[in-house]
Amino acid sequence: METPNPSPRKKGKIWRFFTLMGPGLTTGAADDDPSGIATYSQTGAQFGYGQLWTALYMLPFMMAVQEACARIGLVTGKGIAALVKTHYSKTVLFSVVSLVVIANTINIGADIGAMAAAVQLLIPAPFVVITLVLTTIILVLEIYTNYRTYAGILKWLALALLAYPITVFIVHQDWSVVWKASVIPHIEFSFAFLFIITGVLGTTISPYMFFWETSQEVEESDQSGHKVSDGSAVGRVLISRMRIDNNTGMIVSEVTTWCIILVAAAVLHQSGVKDINTAADAAKALEPLVHTFPNAGFLSKLIFSIGIIGLGLLAVPVLSGSAAYAVSEAFNWNASLNLKPRRARGFYGVIIVATLLGLIINFVGIDPVKALVYAAVLNGVAAVPLLFLIIKISRNEKIMGEYKSKALSSSLLWVTFVAMGAAAVAMFFTIGH
């Protein structure tokens, strides 16, 4: 006799909550990619608690930016590049696409290099061999594996990031100092400080996240068969679900950011480590988590490596995929990770080329850990003009109808644009000072 399916009430509120999770949670998880971990770790090591406040103050702006991107995709059924192609000039279109492809390709290279450095903490294999193997695995899985299944598996690997929140409560903290540093902004007008804070902004509010979440909302609505229509009940329900998903993903991302900075500050900065040069240096931040074990050094490297590799395997497809969406929309190519390669040759071609170019970057002599921070800073600069475009699209009533950005959303978007632009300009202004 078949057991009757449990009623929705019996499934419980927690289960129903997790059924709402989708592009927002994936985007939030991918945001704490190897570039993010390295940048936040460097921030904590170099300035201690000095930039801890950024996690709190970036959250509402990060939520607003990604909500606008998700709403654009959900309402219009089009990605950002497709909308730019329809409503703006070819110059704007190809400038936007070029900016995203270049920034993402460099970020891919930095992430692959970091993953290889993390593997070397565990296996003494040649760097070149590891990067080639990782690149092959990523491309095979992204092209020939159902992405939903692939991302679902990798999210479990991303749980290794829980090591940072756990470590926060193990290491000794002066919590009054921590809370004060988390709430009261501290700013230094030096190149070193502004360089890192631009990287923190860039790895948190990144161009690839704009394009990825927009396009994934389009795919989600296509697969569900639901389309937003002005004033419809279905439209309001989908918008509400999207916001829950998006806000949850961004909150998880920023809580993790706060924990990484705090752990690096408490463990590395306070022990005199002010500069992270290798993956092993970054892994030392987790040693208090396993200090009671004989092989604490190896265990901290193992936990760190699993997190870097798992998040890298999740983030690189997001980076190459968002670049592929942008290019495909510009040229009217079929674009979907759920399509077979033969039905989306151009789309998968961009993924392959971007990933291989990223791989090549690792052979020009740039330190893989430093490259992560440089990639974050580049994202911080590249995000500024793209944010301006997102503001224009999200506020355009002809494009968005009744779902255009209202006063609160527009205000947060403009403040984000001004803050990131100011940080980038100040950084360049202080070069040499």
Q: How far apart are CA 259 and CA 111, in angstroms?
A: 21
Closest CA to 74 of 210, 217, 212: 217
Residue 1 lies in a domain: no
Q: What confidence score (pLDDT) does residue 151 get?
A: 64
Q: What confidence score (pLDDT) does residue 412 get?
A: 95
pTM: 0.83
Residue 9 lies in a domain: no
Q: Indicate which CATH number applies to the domain containing 297.
A: 1.20.1740.10
Residue 13 lies in a domain: no
Q: What confidence score (pLDDT) does residue 180 get?
A: 95
Closest CA to 64 of 420, 422, 411: 411
Contacts 24+ apart (CB under 8 A), 139-143: 139/351, 139/352, 139/355, 141/313, 141/317, 142/317, 142/320, 142/321, 142/337, 142/351, 143/341, 143/348, 143/351, 143/352
Q: How far apart are CA 283 and CA 160, in angstroms?
A: 12
Closest CA to 430 of 103, 186, 187, 110: 187
pLDDT single digits (tens) 10-57? 445 444 444 445 566 666 666 677 888 888 889 999 999 999 999 999
Lookup: tokens for 99? 């900016």
Contacts 24+ apart (CB under 8 A), 345-354: 348/143, 348/324, 350/101, 350/320, 350/323, 350/324, 351/139, 351/142, 351/143, 351/317, 351/320, 351/321, 351/323, 351/324, 352/139, 352/143, 354/101, 354/104, 354/105, 354/108, 354/319, 354/320, 354/323, 354/324
Closest CA to 103 of 257, 213, 206, 33: 206
Residues 6 or more apart in contact with residue 203 via CB below 8 angstroms: 31, 33, 35, 36, 39, 40, 375, 376, 379, 380
Residue 8 lies in a domain: no
Residue 12 lies in a domain: no
Q: How far apart are CA 304 and CA 162, in angstroms?
A: 11
Q: Domain total for the chain?
A: 1
Walk along the chain (433 residues) and give the pLDDT tens digit of each residue. Answer: 444 454 445 445 444 444 445 566 666 666 677 888 888 889 999 999 999 999 999 999 999 999 999 899 888 888 899 999 999 999 999 999 999 999 899 989 989 988 998 899 889 899 999 999 999 999 998 888 876 677 667 667 667 777 888 888 888 888 999 999 999 999 888 888 888 888 888 888 888 888 888 887 777 665 554 554 444 444 677 888 888 888 888 888 889 899 999 999 988 888 888 888 777 888 888 888 777 666 767 888 888 888 888 888 888 888 898 899 999 999 999 888 778 888 889 999 999 999 999 999 888 877 777 788 888 888 889 999 999 999 999 999 999 888 899 999 999 999 999 999 999 998 888 875 5
Residues in the chain: 433
Question: Do 19 and 98 meet the contact criterion of CB atoms below 8 Å apart?
Answer: no
Residue 4 lies in a domain: no
Q: What confidence score (pLDDT) does residue 60 get?
A: 94
- The domain containing residue 102 runs over which residues? 23-429
Question: Do 359 and 111 meet the contact criterion of CB atoms below 8 Å apart?
Answer: no
Report the 10 Å Cβ neighbour count for 178: 17
Residue 74 lies in a domain: yes
Residues 6 or more apart in contact with residue 173 via CB below 8 angstroms: 262, 266
Residue 340 lies in a domain: yes
